[in-house]
Chains A and B, each alone.
Chain A
Amino acid sequence: MIEIHDLSLAFPNPASPDGRTVVLRDFNLSVAAGEFIAIVGASGVGKSTLLRVVAGLVPPNSGTMTHAQSGALKGRRPYGLVFQDARLLPWRTVRANVAFGLEGLGLSRAERRRRAEEALALVGLADKAGRWPHQLSGGQRQRVAIARALAVNPDLLMMDEPFGALDAITRQSLQDELLDLWRRTSKTILFVTHDIDEAVYLADRVILLAGSPATVRSEDRIGTARPRARDDNAARALATRIRDRLSDLMDGGGI
């Protein structure tokens, strides 16, 4: 569904000898429709930047990206994005926040409202449609952000450390809700996190980004059927292997 070839990204940096800092080099990724991909790496390695390139918010310096769409894009957007902070607009009600991406798609007001409420029902917040964001808890706000991304009915859902700012209990319940949503909506998910356990619990494939500039250092496929146990031995072993790899890279000057 997404094919990324030899993607490189550099930012201008007057302090460096060649006038720029290369953030990402020779990044290749092929994502099948319906796949759940997790991208892990240390903070500041460029994971979030990678998502922004895929989202078209930041143009790449080189490389190609193709994004195959299922069906027409009428009344839809190619992707939905969830940030680490919920990033709700405080002057809009919950419902109007969810409808944010639906505006400008040529939908009627009633249609936008219907789709926003549908998306809110998906995340279990149908009864909060008329509230203001400041009246919600952190976990509820993040669920509204997920509903906003789902409302545009994208093929691809991109999430940038979406549960990083939540407490452990809320994080776990939202992880399970996300898996449930993924199963029901059959979206493709690109999930960035620095939490290796989270990546191993959620994803079909875990991609480790490391180094400066960042490159793909490993890729692991997780075959365990869902629902998965959080204390699954194979998953734990894999998480430990990825962690060891990452610390080796950091010790060995690979970063």
Chain B
Amino acid sequence: MANTQTMTAEMPMIEPTKFLSGAQAIMQCLVENNVKTIFGYPGGAIMPTYDALYDYQDRIKHILVRHEQGAGHAAQGYARMTGRAGVAIVTSGPGATNLMTPIADALLDSTPLVCLVGQVKANLLGTDAFQECDIIGMSMPVTKWNYQITDADEIPEIMAKAFYIAESGRPGPVLLDITRTAQADFMTKPFVYKPCEEIVSYRPRYIPKQSQIEEAAKLINAAQKPYIFAGHGILIAKAEEELNEFARKTDIPVATTLLGMSALPHNHPNYIGWLGMHGNYGANVLTNEADLIIAIGMRFDDRVTGDLAQFITQAKVVHIDIDPAEINKNIKADAPVVGDAKEALKALLPLVKERKHTKWIAEFKKYDEIEFEKVSKRDLFHDGDKIKMGEAVAMLSKKTKGEAVTVTDVGQHQMIVNRYYEYMKPNSLVTSGGAGTMGFALPAAFGAKVGAPDREVIALIGDGGFQMTIQELGTIAQSGLPVKIIILNNNFLGMVRQWQQLFFEKRYSFVELQNPDFIAISKGFGIDAHKVSDRAELSTELDKMLAATTPYLLEIVCEKEENVFPMVPAGGGVASIRLE
């Protein structure tokens, strides 16, 4: 008895040790990962995490979007600018399903995303609970990796893994489905964060095998008409300088893919244009004259190859890609090189001979002249009253010296931006290439501006796509960030209309839009907006937009039934390219 009393008197009250809650652990993981900004939308199943976020506002900036799709695309824009994973945070059920489009988009365009998705309590899983949705099952085909967290103790390790998988190798989207239980419960051990450095079942190869490099160098040194296809991999690996050196030393002409745009400045002596359905005339046609294709960080998408049976059948192929599944997927590689674009180019540089391909490059220039006469001249120097998209973009390009970040939506305007914006700085185009997601540009431009506040970010959007995520004007207004928005308005779903005109006997099936007053809408959201339809005023209006230090919208009323050329008809060989 006495003994017990002594103990009570001497021992201080011991509180049971309280560790971090799952939600706090999530926040702490973000901090440890140096995540400064996240894009999200709260809701029931993610509330514990939002509650923890309240205490972390000084370290993590949360941007409240207006729709979960906006969070995903904004995170994509952010990731494309920073090279780091963009973080989107949403609730379960509809919150999560709304994120599916950006996730699918990010997978196709190799964009790192970490999506934190709330889920119902663990004991309710599989019961059709309120806002329950099998998001693991749904997101499986469109994520690089996904995982359901049911235990708070798992959080540090899984979060570290998520960022590692999203950002390493060929980047892609990762989804974490976090039950409300795992967020609300306390961890049973101290929080320790260890960045993930290796996963036994996932070991992307960065440094290529020397034997593969030597094989590739042999083909490159022997080629008479070599031709480089530079893809998104160049930008992801930050290999622009290596590509520049490589192109100069070997004097090989370089075309980019849509996503590879701005890998070389457009005034580079070896840059000859871009590939693909609406790419440049010479860049496309001369693929069939080359004796060697050096494909770097690109995947021979059908929009580049057209009919595969007719594509570069005469040429040998060196294919450099970090994703081994891309090798021999669409085009057989004579010399495959698995590795990071930067490392591969660095390894190749000392092995390739200094060459001159003056005549071969001059062939491209000949086609440029034809393209200028038949297409560009009509777009840029016409005497009509109506503004053409091409001239608006070309003027913007001049005024910004080709140094802005352009963020495009999908359709005619997207192709026109790529045709007429003369990129001078690397990583300057954010666009939805693989998925072709309309509605991408407005939120992605916002995310890009958050990621690169010092660069001029200009969204160029068609009137159709603009109305798909128009609500994100609210996000932009609330942030006050000077995102510049140009609507190229032709009152049509232009690309579909073009196809209907060319391939469906001009049967215009549901492509004409009765548009709202974009200026009133924008002003309603609190964003300064102007409209221009007179060619004579275009220059002044663009100047006003560029001078603005707040968000700014400029609606450019364009010629209604313009078509984008050149065009390789879908399924045709690149030789069937049309100029009119």
A and B from one complex:
no
Chain A residues with CB under 8 Å of chain B are none
Question: Footprint of A on B, CB under 8 Å?
Answer: none
